[in-house]
Structure 1
């Protein structure tokens, strides 16, 4: 195997086409430089330079190897800089998991802050439900999650990003949309209901069941994504309980109605969560600059 000293010697001779000038350029004498070139040619297994008493010139193999040698030397020069940038969080990859609802609410502003704080870090986005994000954070496949509670606070640090109200999504022109007050329990007791999946959308399912008198006999569809729920409402398949951020979807054929008591309670939470054993310097720098604090 050849060394970087041998590559530097070869590059100098190839550019100067003169052993004496190349040795002077490298602050060394000519005999050890000649030995470096000989060792390099032996390691590669072919002649790189044609030399006689009057001239030195590159062989075809030497001409091709010169470009590769320069590339290797450039990579070697950049490697320490790259390592320092990654160690200080100024380079690398940040893997962020997010729920579908956070994707059309807070994800955009957060990515703007990430780009400002660590502009040279590549961001890998993965749309995952909270349970999948937690698994990813535990296994190291994710660095940061935008997720719903609950989560193990002994394992994860977190920052509450925001709270919001739950709203009732109804088809455009629905009778409930004509109310001049927030929707009350009795108003929707006989409505066909599009409900959250108790296994794939556990957070919203548990929250809705806890806060509202759900008539399970009225459930006509069970889905896991807020976007799907709102799309079904637009198709006039029923009504659905969705977070206020769903109003940002802009789907036609849907109206969002306030629910009595939700405007002040704002029970829906979204947290930034990360493993307490974080190892990604880019994440550490981002958290410091955003001034996140464990709750």
Structure 2
């Protein structure tokens, strides 16, 4: 019985690991599937879905990813708006029951009054039941905790391709139920674990193709011994070519899944980089400049690591 139980636990761990890697590999598909504009005068496209709970699968109640199936299943509850640059009253057309909201800008969108309204919290006032929010290509620059006020149910937040350069420490204070945060394609240079400490349910954090150079901006100085309570299943930092790798760089991030630092111009691996990653399951290090893998470099991960993605030009 003991052997059978041990085998079952190993089998479950393998399935769990494969599931995490699968989610990691398909994470880019979480964005809204918004098509091209049909109105040449429009500068922004809005998609919102006020799908009632009875018309929603259980899996989407747990993690409300956007997908074609959501739109197909609840097509009568999916609405599209094409908004001209001069129109700042779009909020009157969005249902308060909305659970999915996507705002997508075109042609270097820069409608200052609408951008300001988003930055100061109009979305929470308009649709407080949101589970999924994507704001893409809207030239958002300044976000604070008030940007997300009243969004207590929000699980997924995607802010790709905006002009955000700085995150206040308390920026996610109201997002107590957030599971997934993506800041891909922004101009953020530094983050800290303290930005996410309040987000105890956070599992997926993506900051790809940004200007990120430092992921421990405040951790070592202001909170040298503090560990946050979130557990990341995926931490993706790909294509941040200025990322500064230092000793135990990830120790304040509680990794329990996939860590990806692909295409970050990483030229060498040091054993102390991976200190604090005793529970990481998968490392993605591809498309870097690494030529040699030092012996025992992954010692800190030896009891948990299930796989590593590397380039083909390495010497081990």
Same structural fold, with TM-score higher than 0.5 when normalized by the shorter chain = no
Q: Which has the larger radius of gyration?
A: 1
**Higher strand fraction (1 or 2):** 1
TM-score w.r.t. the length of structure 2 is: 0.21
Greater RCO, 1 or 2 (C-alpha within 8 Å, sep 6+): 1
**Higher helix fraction (1 or 2):** 1
TM-score w.r.t. the length of structure 1 is: 0.22
